[in-house]
Structure 1
Amino acid sequence: MDFLRQLPTHVYITGSLAFLVWFRNYGGYRYRCLMAILSLILMATFGVIASLILPIFGQAGLINYLVARGYHYIGGFFTGLRTTIIGQENILQSPAVYVCNHQTSLDIMVMGSMYPKNTSVVAKKELKYYPFLGWFMTLSNAIFLDRKNRTNALKEARQAAEDIHKKKISVWLFPEGTRGHSSKVDLLPFKKGAFHMAVQARVPIVPVVIANYNDIYSTKAKRFLPGNVNIKVLPPVVTNDIDEDSASIEKLSIRVRESMLTALREISPTTKEE
């Protein structure tokens, strides 16, 4: 024990990292959950630093992109999570509103495999106060919506629409508003903020569908297995001819949701409810 106490700190760190790399082929649910959390903390910390440095060189649009890709590759290395992207040609180089289904916290790791450059995240206001993740999101100019207050949410959506034009950025939202946590291949009802935003900004909506991966990850069943998750990027939906009234926005959200639900059922493996 005295010998171990005398070892330099960097030896402990190197040894611990070597053990985690070696153990990735043998670790189970708890190990993979731990590595997913540690990878997220690592990349959120990197994001804080990147948010302070990259804007100096005019590269603020790379902040979220680098963090998302880094989390996907590092987290995927330790957990064995991989993705197959279908319809990658539908990712736009110009501003757009990306809408994606939301299942679990692992969605961030999965979507990192195709997250576009120059894209900001739109998230619920509560995330702003999370350690590490909230700090990074605040510094990277994430857009926080107060979903408990419809008036505030619409006002913030309009401001975000203005930012899309001024800063020439895209935005990424989860229109379900919360995580599904279900083995059932389905979608929750969509909130309208993303669609108000797209119509007001007159930019396309790009639906992104992550296949149901309950067979790989389930907190209820304490299951986290290595595996592949399909992602399908659907063709952009043009909003130039859509009115800003509630009825038109409702019709648009239903149309997008139905197309995403169809794609979700096509790319998801057959699973049994638990």
Structure 2
Amino acid sequence: MNAKTQKHIVQEGTYIPELYSYPEMPDGQFIKTVKVRDVDVENGFPFLDKSLKSRLMGFLINAGIHLLVYPVSKIIYGLKIEGQENIKKNRKLLKNGAMTVCNHVHRWDFCFVLMASRKFRMWFPAKASNLETKDAVLIRGAGGIPVPQTLGAVRHFNETFDSLAKKKKWLHVFPEAARWDYYEPVRPFKKGGFKMALRYGYPIIPMAISYRERKGFRKLLMKDKPLITIKIGTVILPEHGENATKNEAADLLRKNTHAEICRLAGIKQNCWEAEGD
């Protein structure tokens, strides 16, 4: 389940960066983080902070993503967004909420997803340990909700997403769990996000970040990193088979989403299985 199972084969023209060595396990830690504070998400943590300060910070950070990060991404990473017609033609289907799913391969990848979705703000599960780093304010402001471990805190975590779903808010998940910068294959997916999509009846909008060779003046900006494309795929509906259990339905949704993201990324045969737990 957590091992490479077959040869990796990509479509002609798919660019594969060869920059780093990655962990052996597909959800292993690649990004080194530095703890700068203690945060207890298990006891009385405000998963959805409704204070004026928090709401103002969220507005400013998301405005910054659209007004600053987007043009900078266009210049530095040559950001291309493809497939937005898949969202436009499904507006009625998505009006009651949706979940975007993407491979986790860049520090700004959530920003890319937000721009591609043309939503001002979305919410996403985040590693609790990330709130102990210097990026905590940015993560929380962008819509990050930490994933706790204890039963009581998990109940409050679920209630938070329940309240967002009732308001028809869009959600996002990175089901690979760990961020591996510029990794080209699509790693196995954790099941939790797909259970959430089924719980809320949310259609899934698959997205894939892929890469292009850096050329022209952009070589002067960051010559060792590739350019970025994010592609939006076909909307996938959460369906319960006639006799399928919830776990079986989540497995099928995970499998179909993984296959579509592989296709979008230019992969003919992915080296990893879809299942990651």
- Structure 1 partner of 2:133: 130
Q: Which amino acid aligns with 1:67?
A: G
- Structure 2 partner of 1:250: 251
Q: Answer whether contact 1:65 1:119 (CA < 8 A) is retained.
A: no
Q: Answer whether contact 1:125 1:145 (CA < 8 A) is retained.
A: yes
TM-score by length of 2: 0.60
Cα RMSD (Å) of the superposition? 3.6
Are 1:68 and 2:70 an aligned pair? no
- Structure 1 partner of 2:159: 159
Identity %: 21
Distance 2:169 2:114 in 1: 17
Cα distance per residue 1:80-112 (max 9 Å; x no partner): 222221111233454111111011324245445
Cα distance per residue 1:199-246 (max 9 Å; x no partner): 001111111111135x55xxxxxx933864221111211115466622
- Structure 2 partner of 1:34: none
Distance 1:165 1:106 in 2: 25
- Structure 2 partner of 1:5: none
Distance 2:154 2:266 in 1: 31
Structure-2 change in CA distance of 1:74 and 1:130 (3 Å): farther
Q: Answer whether contact 1:199 1:244 (CA < 8 A) is retained.
A: no
Unmatched segments (≥5 aa) in structure 1: 1-50, 217-222, 268-274
Q: Answer whether contact 1:83 1:113 (CA < 8 A) is retained.
A: no
Structure-2 change in CA distance of 1:89 and 1:165 (3 Å): same
Are 1:87 and 2:106 an aligned pair? no
Q: Answer whether contact 1:68 1:108 (CA < 8 A) is retained.
A: no
Distance 1:86 1:190 in 2: 23
How many residues are aligned here?
Answer: 202
- Structure 1 partner of 2:218: none
Structure-2 change in CA distance of 1:230 and 1:69 (3 Å): same
Counting helix residues as a fraction of each chain, which structure ranks higher?
1
Measure how far apart 1:162 and its partner are. Answer: 1.0
- Structure 2 partner of 1:20: none
- Structure 1 partner of 2:185: 186
- Structure of larger gyration radius: 1
Q: Answer whether contact 1:129 1:135 (CA < 8 A) is retained.
A: no
Q: Which amino acid aligns with 2:249?
A: S
Structure-2 change in CA distance of 1:186 and 1:266 (3 Å): closer
Distance 1:174 1:123 in 2: 9
Distance 2:55 2:61 in 1: 12
Distance 1:254 1:265 in 2: 17
Structure-2 change in CA distance of 1:256 and 1:239 (3 Å): same
Aligned mate of 1:121, from 120, 124, 133: 124
Measure how far apart 1:176 and its partner are. Answer: 0.4
- Structure 2 partner of 1:36: none
- Structure 2 partner of 1:210: 209
- Structure 2 partner of 1:25: none
Structure-2 change in CA distance of 1:151 and 1:177 (3 Å): farther
Q: Answer whether contact 1:82 1:227 (CA < 8 A) is retained.
A: no
Distance 2:234 2:157 in 1: 23
Q: Answer whether contact 1:158 1:197 (CA < 8 A) is retained.
A: no
Q: Answer whether contact 1:121 1:142 (CA < 8 A) is retained.
A: yes
Q: Which amino acid aligns with 2:69?
A: H
Measure how far apart 1:164 and its partner are. Answer: 3.1
